[in-house]
Chains A and B, each alone.
Chain A
C-alpha cells in the first residue's frame, strides 16, 4: 500500500495539495493518506472531506489550541507521531521548509520523495536560500540538527529558478472567465504586520485613508486569519472589514470581481495573477522603506526583499500589476 504524508496548517494548503494530487500524482483507493495538521486554522474534518479518494486517512492534529511551541505539547506530539513513523511514505508533502516544527516532524519519517507546497511568498526566500546552500533551521542548532532534505520538488504558482538539487512544477488554476462585470469596489487584503510589530496601526490607517480619498469606490478590508480585531478598531470606523471565513480566492472562484485588489505581499495577490480577467488590477504596497525606518531584523528584511524583487519582475511583464513603495503610495495620487 502506498502512503502519502501531508503536513499542513492552512486551508490553502489543503487546496494546493488537492491540486497536486489532481495533476501531478496519480493516487487512488490503494493509497493511504496521513495528515498532520499544525495549528488551529484547519479542523481535522475539513481535511478529511477533501481527500475522499484515498483508502485510509489518518489525521493528527498538533498544537490544536495554540500557536505556541511548549514542552508539554512537544511530548504529546512525539507520542502521537510514533504511529506515523512506522510507515515508509512514497511522498512527503510539507509546506514550509523553514518551519522548525515541520523540520522536526520530517526528521523522524522515512520517505522517497519530498514535495514542498507554496506557503505563501516565503517560498521565494526558501528557494533563494536553497540556491545559496543555506539552511537556517539547521544552522539554528549546534548539536542535534534536523537532517538535510536533499531534493525538493516545489509545487507552486510562482515561477523561479531552483538550485541544482531541486525542481519546480509551476501550475495554474482555472478560474471563472471574466464574464462577470466587476463591482465598483476596491479590496484590501490584510496581513498580520501589526501583530508581528512590523508596522503601526497609524501606517495602516494612512493607507486606508488614501484609498478612501483617491479610489472613488467603496473599500472593503479582508482580514487575514492571524489579524486581530483589536488592531483594526480604527479601520472598522473607516471602511467595511470582512472577517476571515474562507480564502479570498474561494470568493473569486465563486464569481466575485472587484476593480482593484491591494495588499503588501499577500499570497492572495499572487494567486490572483492567474485570474483570467483583464479588468482585475493588482497593487502591491512595497513596505521595504517602512521596514528600514522601523529597524526590522536583517532576516525579515532579506525575506521581504526576495519577494518584492519577484513582484517587480511581475509588474514589468504584466500591466495589471503595480508595485508602489509605501511612502510614495500615501503621498502620490492613485
Chain B
C-alpha cells in the first residue's frame, strides 16, 4: 500500500489479542506493511505475546541503538506510528527519538474507555463544556497548540467517543477521528452471527484473573479461596435467577496462567475468546469491573457487580466499581458473605436511559460501522493522498 509503513508502538501491554484488536490480518490483506515496536521491556513491563505471526512482525526495542537501527532501516519509507495515548512518562523521550525519522506521523488512540470517578464529578461536565467550546474555535485552538504540554505531539487521535477525548488533545492541532471503542469493534465482528451459544436463559461471568492481577492481595491459598467463593456464588445465583448455566468467559491471558494454576478444578463452564458472543444472547452479566461492562451495556444486559473482602479494601478497585454501579444503577454483591445473607437477588433489570447515556459517552456516538483502526488508517492515508 504505497510507501507507508504502519508501526504499532506497544509500551506497556503487548498480547496475542492485539492481532485481533487492530485487525492486523485485514490490514495485511489490504496490502499494508505492518510492524510492531515493543517498548514493554525497556519501560519495565512484560510483553506476553506468543503468537509467532506477531513475533515475526515485532522489533523489541531495549535501548537507543535499537531505535536508531529501526530508523536507519526504514529511512526511505513514510512511517505512521500508531500508539496509545496512555503511555508512561518515560516513554516521551523514547518517542521523541522515534520522531527523528525523516517522514513520520503519529496516530494516537484512546479507545479503551472506562468511566472513572471524575465522570461522577461536576468538573468533568465543565471540562467537557470547555472542550466543545474550543473544538469549534480554530483560532483559540491554534493559539493553545503553541504551548508544550509535555505530551507526545499527535497528528491524529483515534477517539472512542468525543466525550472521552483526552483533554490535552483539544489544546493541540491534532485531528480527531472519533469512531468507537475497542469493545464495539468486537461487537461489530459478531453482530450478524445469528447462532447463539446457548438457547435458554444463561449468565456470563467475565473473568479478570483477579488473584493474578492483584498478586499482592492474594497469596497462593487465597487464590483457591477466591475461585471457590466465586464458583459457589455463581452456582447460588444460577439457581436464584433461574438460569440454565453461567458461563465463565475466560480472560485473554488465561492460557498464560493455566500453566501455573489449575482452573479446571472448579465447576466453571469456561469459554475462551468468545466473550462478546456470550454476552450478546445472555440474560445477565456478572463482573468485577471488567471493560466488558461496555459490551453488556451495548447489548442492554443487566450487570451484577461482584466484589470480595480483599477487593473491597482496594481503593482504586472500589472507585471503579462505584462508578460503574452509579452510572448503571447496578447492584454490588460481596461474594464472601452473600450466601450467608438473609436475602438474595432474583432479577435485575436495565435502566434504558442510563444505558443509552453510557453508550454515547463511553462506547459509540456515531453511525460508522467499520473497524475503528482500519477506518482511521484509511482516512489518514486518503488525506495524505
| Residues of B close to A170: CB separation below 8 A | 345-348
| Residues of B close to A151: CB separation below 8 A | 329, 351, 353-354
- C-alpha gap A4/B108 in the complex (Å): 41
Question: Does A174 make an interface contact (CB < 8 A)?
Answer: yes
Asked if B353 and A24 make an inter-chain contact with CB atoms under 8 angstroms apart, the answer reads no
Asked if B347 and A25 make an inter-chain contact with CB atoms under 8 angstroms apart, the answer reads no
Binary interface profile of A, 190-212, with partner B (CB < 8 Å = 1, else 0)?
Answer: 00000000000000000000000
Tell me the chain B residues, 350-366 only, with Cβ under 8 Å from chain A.
350-354
Which of B41-49, B186-194, B263-271, B335-343 makes up part of the contact surface? B335-343
Shortest CB-to-CB span from B168 to chain A, Å, is 28
Asked if B348 and A173 make an inter-chain contact with CB atoms under 8 angstroms apart, the answer reads no
Question: Does B115 make an interface contact (CB < 8 A)?
Answer: no
- C-alpha gap A51/B212 in the complex (Å): 35
Asked if B346 and A26 make an inter-chain contact with CB atoms under 8 angstroms apart, the answer reads no
Question: Does B314 make an interface contact (CB < 8 A)?
Answer: no
A151-B354, A153-B329, A169-B331 are known contacts. Are A23 and B347 too (CB-CB below 8 A)? no
Which residue in B332, B344, B353 is a CB contact (below 8 Å) of A164? Answer: B353
B357 to A, closest residue via Cβ: A151
B347 to A, closest residue via Cβ: A170
Asked if A26 and B326 make an inter-chain contact with CB atoms under 8 angstroms apart, the answer reads no
Interface size class of A (residues with CB under 8 A): 20 to 34
Binary interface profile of B, 136-167, with partner A (CB < 8 Å = 1, else 0)?
Answer: 00000000000000000000000000000000
Asked if B345 and A169 make an inter-chain contact with CB atoms under 8 angstroms apart, the answer reads yes
Asked if B353 and A165 make an inter-chain contact with CB atoms under 8 angstroms apart, the answer reads yes
Asked if B332 and A26 make an inter-chain contact with CB atoms under 8 angstroms apart, the answer reads yes
Question: Does B291 make an interface contact (CB < 8 A)?
Answer: no
Question: Does A172 make an interface contact (CB < 8 A)?
Answer: yes
Asked if B342 and A172 make an inter-chain contact with CB atoms under 8 angstroms apart, the answer reads no
A173 to B, closest residue via Cβ: B343
Question: Does A125 make an interface contact (CB < 8 A)?
Answer: no
- C-alpha gap A169/B332 in the complex (Å): 11
Shortest CB-to-CB span from B302 to chain A, Å, is 8
Asked if A23 and B326 make an inter-chain contact with CB atoms under 8 angstroms apart, the answer reads no
Question: Does B57 make an interface contact (CB < 8 A)?
Answer: no
Binary interface profile of A, 167-180, with partner B (CB < 8 Å = 1, else 0)?
Answer: 11111111000000
| Residues of A close to B354: CB separation below 8 A | 151, 165, 167
Binary interface profile of A, 120-160, with partner B (CB < 8 Å = 1, else 0)?
Answer: 00000000000000000000000000000011010000010
Asked if A24 and B347 make an inter-chain contact with CB atoms under 8 angstroms apart, the answer reads no
Shortest CB-to-CB span from A13 to chain B, Å, is 14
A153-B351, A164-B353, A167-B350 are known contacts. Are A26 and B312 too (CB-CB below 8 A)? yes
Asked if B351 and A171 make an inter-chain contact with CB atoms under 8 angstroms apart, the answer reads no
Shortest CB-to-CB span from B303 to chain A, Å, is 11
Asked if A167 and B329 make an inter-chain contact with CB atoms under 8 angstroms apart, the answer reads yes
Question: Does A303 make an interface contact (CB < 8 A)?
Answer: no
| Residues of A close to B346: CB separation below 8 A | 170-172
| Residues of A close to B349: CB separation below 8 A | 161-162, 167-169
Question: Does A28 make an interface contact (CB < 8 A)?
Answer: yes
Question: Does B240 make an interface contact (CB < 8 A)?
Answer: yes
Question: Does B7 make an interface contact (CB < 8 A)?
Answer: no
Q: In the complex, which of the residues A22, A28, A159, A167 has the most CB atoms of chain B within 10 Å of its own CB atom?
A: A167
Question: Does A230 make an interface contact (CB < 8 A)?
Answer: no
Question: Does B333 make an interface contact (CB < 8 A)?
Answer: yes
Question: Does B120 make an interface contact (CB < 8 A)?
Answer: yes
Asked if B341 and A169 make an inter-chain contact with CB atoms under 8 angstroms apart, the answer reads no
| Residues of B close to A23: CB separation below 8 A | 331, 333, 338, 341, 343-345
A168 to B, closest residue via Cβ: B349
- C-alpha gap A169/B347 in the complex (Å): 6
| Residues of B close to A169: CB separation below 8 A | 331, 345, 347-349
| Residues of A close to B312: CB separation below 8 A | 26, 28
Which residue in B332, B343, B347, B348 is a CB contact (below 8 Å) of A174? Answer: B343
Shortest CB-to-CB span from A27 to chain B, Å, is 10
Asked if A159 and B351 make an inter-chain contact with CB atoms under 8 angstroms apart, the answer reads no
| Residues of A close to B351: CB separation below 8 A | 151, 153, 162, 164-167
Tell me the chain A residues, 219-274 only, with Cβ under 8 Å from chain B.
none
Question: Does B184 make an interface contact (CB < 8 A)?
Answer: no
Asked if A174 and B331 make an inter-chain contact with CB atoms under 8 angstroms apart, the answer reads no
| Residues of A close to B348: CB separation below 8 A | 167-170
Binary interface profile of A, 33-56, with partner B (CB < 8 Å = 1, else 0)?
Answer: 000000000000000000000000
Given contacts A19-B343, A172-B240, 7 further A-B contacts (CB under 8 A): A24-B333, A151-B353, A153-B351, A167-B351, A169-B331, A169-B349, A170-B348
24 contacts between A and B (CB under 8 A): A18-B342, A19-B342, A19-B343, A22-B343, A23-B331, A23-B345, A25-B331, A26-B307, A90-B322, A112-B326, A113-B329, A164-B351, A165-B353, A167-B348, A167-B349, A167-B354, A169-B331, A169-B345, A169-B347, A170-B348, A171-B344, A171-B345, A172-B344, A172-B346
Binding site for A on B (CB under 8 A): 120, 240, 302, 307, 312, 318, 322, 326, 329, 331-334, 338, 341-354
| For the complex of A and B, 10 pairs with smallest distance between CB atoms | A24-B331, A167-B351, A19-B343, A170-B347, A164-B352, A22-B341, A153-B329, A165-B353, A168-B349, A167-B349
Binding site for B on A (CB under 8 A): 18-19, 22-26, 28, 90, 112-113, 150-151, 153, 159, 161-162, 164-174
